[in-house]
Structure 1
């Protein structure tokens, strides 16, 4: 159980970091770097976090077992328990992803500022509405990812600093610590569902696309042809057209 939680948590944070890398790549001025932001590259990197973190966290399979009397999955080795709780879990699940998010967030902001500066030159066209919306969405998503990860990082630092006091904590303090733990985990989980809502509230074009999709998907708008009055108008001929018809008459046959 500990191994499964560790692998899924680190893999989820890795995908969050990869999305930050993708935002930096797609806003880069270099065409070579922009090529890294593609479906082909995403499909190639998709299984790598699962394989990598399964190998890195493999010691959890050997040093974790069902511990009596509650028979919960926990550490069976004191040394590895300290390594896992003080080094592996904080660094791999919180601190390292936070550093990556901050670094690529700053790089993305730098790329967007550079694009905006180039667009403001006299010989350059202004940013289109779609480019402005994409800029707003990327900055909002990057900032939200950093904000949602900081509380968990602060809790991890606090838990490391008070690890020796865990056995002497009162029941009330232990309950508050557990509540903060659950809250920080919930806040971090907002990252994985925030993209859709950020795009929905930041981009009118995205909202219009969603509305069109829902309309077509659930047949909310009936496709009916309204009757119209057909006005019969006489055909007018110019003098040249009349002369042409006289010179080259056409034979019309009527059905019996």
Structure 2
């Protein structure tokens, strides 16, 4: 029996979601964990506001991938709609998506802005580049997105599916909030606005860093700023390619009828969008010599400490067992 073209699109999108999604989840989880370890292991990174934002972004990326991407794989890959089975999960799922996704994107924008301030020659702008202010900004960011997610808890509910009266789905019950989610959250906050901020301040930071050699800046600070700016700029360029498809799909596909082809394109755009959360460690390890050196240093120390601990345990003096040998002459 032949398979119709529409169902074939669904099958392909499901398989891509399962295998590509699991791949993104695994590399993103371990990449984010390595990012956190490396950024927290070097004092110059711990005291730098840009590295602080990148560390916070790594935490948000790990949680987002663990909660949202895993849910995306289960719902769109295995067709197990968890949101339609639990009213609590229905209400909390998008709330968590908004919180950690928007926190991650905001941290990336702040890191780009921070590198512009760090490389700026104007003392007025340069003074805003400090770790103490970065901590307050991050706390304010998290509180703001927490408040932003409250309407999701209020307006999401389990209702009868408009297309199938025998099926229940988790949908928004307020039409105005539905319009905001489609255009405000999905199109602007998840794609267009972060891209504009990243490209704008990334370009300004690149312009500033080219003139660092002509300024009276300590060598260590100058090299650190160059390394961090390079890391941020390459990630901005990468983000253009993984976020832009989602912006286009959000603008076009969400206004078209829900058919298999459109649903498949929408799901694939979400899969590509998730590469944003999985990629930072691999970008930094490729473009930054300082980051690679710290990575090698950290894990050589871990290996050495484990090897030393193992040898100490193996070389401990064991109590001498009693002499149980039998003299053959006595026989």
Q: Under a length normalisation based on structure 1, what TM-score does the superposition of the two structures give?
A: 0.68
| Corresponding position: 1:11 with 2:99 | no
| Corresponding position: 1:105 with 2:202 | yes
* Residue in structure 1 matched with residue 292 of structure 2 by the alignment: 207
User: Which one of the candidate residues 217, 223, 237 is aligned to 2:302?
Assistant: 217
Distance 1:96 1:30 in 2: 26
Q: How many residues align?
A: 210
Counterparts of residues 42-191 of structure 1 (less than 5 Å)? 42-68=134-160, 70-116=167-213, 118=214, 131=222, 134-135=225-226, 137-167=228-258, 169=259, 171-183=260-272, 185-190=273-278
Q: From the superposition, tell whether residues 181 and 135 of structure 1 become closer, same or farther in structure 2 (CA, over 3 Å).
A: same
Q: Secondary structure at the match of 1:28?
A: coil
Q: Which runs of 5+ in 1 are unaligned?
A: 223-256
Distance 1:43 1:82 in 2: 33
Q: From the superposition, tell whether residues 151 and 87 of structure 1 become closer, same or farther in structure 2 (CA, over 3 Å).
A: same
Q: Secondary structure at the match of 2:183?
A: helix
Q: Secondary structure at the match of 1:29?
A: coil
Rg comparison, structure with higher value: 1
* Residue in structure 2 matched with residue 226 of structure 1 by the alignment: none
Structure holding more helix per residue: 2
Residue 212 of structure 1, CA deviation: 3.4
Distance 1:206 1:10 in 2: 26
1:111-151 Cα shifts (integer Å, max 9, x gaps): 112224x26xxxx89x9698457525523422322432444
* Residue in structure 2 matched with residue 252 of structure 1 by the alignment: none
Residue 32 of structure 1, CA deviation: 4.1
Contact 1:133/1:202 (8 A) holds in 2: no
Backbone CA RMSD of aligned residues: 3.1
Distance 2:304 2:242 in 1: 44
Residue 55 of structure 1, CA deviation: 2.3
Q: Secondary structure at the match of 2:211?
A: helix
Distance 1:154 1:94 in 2: 9
Distance 1:206 1:164 in 2: 43
Q: From the superposition, tell whether residues 27 and 84 of structure 1 become closer, same or farther in structure 2 (CA, over 3 Å).
A: same
